[in-house]
Amino acid sequence: MSIKKEEDRSYPRKILDYMEGFLVSKTLFAACELGVFECLHDSERPLSAAEVARALGTSEDGTERLLSACAGLELLSAQRGDEEVLYRNTEMSDRYLTKASPQSLYHSIQYNSKTIYLCWHYLTDAVREGRNQYQKAFGVSSKDLFEALYRSEAEMVKFMQLMNSVWNICGRDVVTAFDLSSFRTIYDLGGCSGALARQCTMAYPECTVTIFDLPKVVQTAREHFLSIEDKRILFHEGDFFEDELPEADLYILARILHDWTDERNVELLTKVYRSCRAGGAVLVVEALLSEDDSGPLTAQLYSLNMLVQTEGKERRASEYRRLLAAAGFSHIQVQRTGKIYDAVLARKQ
């Protein structure tokens, strides 16, 4: 114990790790973008750096260093032959880093690399000013948040792919955190690509889920994301701040409230309360901060990301309770899933 303390004082490992954390992120981003994991996945045998370089059209020297760093990160396993090192994917890389895998995080990694990383360049400014950094990072006005987030068709699709991918990993836990089988007509407000709606229809055979989102998002979801025929998934083009909300038994608000201020949230939740059938409910899905603000680290970091990217923040369960109660909801229950996203259910009596 005393030895360890001494070591901490003379060698600040944690600080060094944090200082260089972005080197790790960028190594992962570059390997994904170059197609390292696809290349090794498709090969029947382990490959040398020279063979990977040839397949990818990259420099031999650069590729050798990249593969070596990936092995250091345990994203690849390296096997030392007589003359050269041979690389193959680990089981984790095969499952999560190849594009075609059902549990692929490839699109999340792309969005982190191509958008979030650029926004975080201005984190210091964001903290100083207390607002998002679209103007500096991308030269677009942040007056309308989703105009900025969807500043091009390609950006919108990338954002939808980001939103889509996490539900392959956390979706089932979120929709089964409470027994939702009594709710037949469900609206997923800001339902985006429909990934959570799919999780819902798979978990509850009796329900229909309508994806309510901005027109261009709904059109893209229809055409590019929900290719699997599911007669229990419907679509509704609209603006949840401007338009009337249809009546339903259950409204899902997944990663919606964290985009906005308390005032806008109470405005939205009040509309939801008015449209909700008596005995109905709202399911809020968010990464909850602990009451003493001690964690989880992911939610704390996501809250900083909400600062650079949105008008909102991550909140504690008690803050969601207060917003829901202000809109009229009661019987508020909280379920933590132990994964990134948790669930809060609130009823209209």
255 binds ligand ASE (CB under 6 A): yes
Task: Give the residue at shortest CB distance from ligand ASE.
Answer: 305
Least Cβ distance, residue 111 to ligand ASE (angstroms): 7
Closest CA to 252 of 239, 269, 267, 266: 269
The distance of closest approach from Cβ of residue 237 to ligand SAM in the complex, given in angstroms and rounded to an integer, is 9
Catalytic residue check, 41 = no
- The contact pattern for ligand ASE, residues 115-154, with x = CB under 6 A and - = no contact, is -x--------------------------------------
Taking the C-alpha atoms of residue 68 and residue 78, their distance in angstroms, rounded to an integer, is 8
- CB-wise, 46 or 238, nearer to ligand SAM? 238
Neighbours of 101 (CB within 10 A): 16
When the beta carbons of 105 and 256 are compared against ligand SAM, the nearer one is: 256
52 contact choice in ligand ASE, ligand SAM, none (CB below 5 to 8 Å, kind-dependent): none
Find the binder of ligand ASE among 188, 305, 324, 327 (CB under 6 A).
305
Give the other-Cβ count within 10 Å of 280's Cβ: 22
* Residue 211 CB, nearest approach to ligand ASE (Å): 16
Q: Are 247 and 299 in contact (CB under 8 A)?
A: no
Nearest to ligand ASE of 53, 288 (CB atom): 288
Minimum separation from the CB atom of position 257 to ligand ASE (A): 9
Which one of the spans 193-201, 212-220, 288-296, 303-311 is the region binding ligand ASE (CB under 6 A)? Answer: 303-311
Three-state DSSP at 285 gives strand
Positive/negative CA dihedral, 30, 32, 33, 34: positive
CA angle 290, 292, 296 (to 5 degrees): 35
Residue nearest to ligand SAM (CB): 190
Closer residue to ligand ASE (CB): 60 or 311: 311
Q: CB neighbours (10 Å) of residue 73?
A: 14
**DSSP label at 316?**
B
Beta-carbon contacts of 27 under 8 Å, excluding residues fewer than 6 positions away, are 66, 69, 70, 73
Choosing from 253, 299, 310, 343, the residue that interacts with ligand ASE (CB under 6 A) is 310
CA 77 to chain centroid: 28
How far apart, in whole angstroms, are the C-alpha atoms of residue 283 and residue 301?
Answer: 23
CA 187 to chain centroid: 20
- Given the residues 107, 224, 236, 258, the one annotated as active site: 258
Tokens for 14? 């944690």
**Contact residue for ligand ASE among 188, 259, 286, 342 (CB under 6 A):** 259
**Residue among 240 and 273 whose Cβ is closer to ligand SAM:** 240
Residue 27: name the closest of 84, 74, 59, 60 by CA: 74
Strand order in the sheet with 248-254: 233-237, 208-213, 185-189, 248-254, 276-286, 342-347, 330-335
Residue 309 found at the interface with ligand ASE (CB under 6 A): yes
309 binds, among ligand ASE, ligand SAM, none (CB under 5 to 8 A by kind): ligand ASE
How many residues bind to ligand ASE according to rule CB under 6 A?
8
Residue 261: strand, helix, or coil = coil
* Amino acid at position 148, single letter: A
Of 16-24, 73-81, 210-218, 254-262, the window that binds ligand ASE (rule: CB under 6 A) is: 254-262
Pick from 87, 302, 320, 341: which binds ligand ASE (CB under 6 A)?
302
- 319, 292 contact by CB (below 8 A): no
70 or 269, CB closer to ligand SAM? 269
CB of residue 53 vs ligand ASE: minimum separation in angstroms? 32
List contacts with ligand ASE (CB under 6 A): 116, 255, 258-259, 302, 305, 309-310
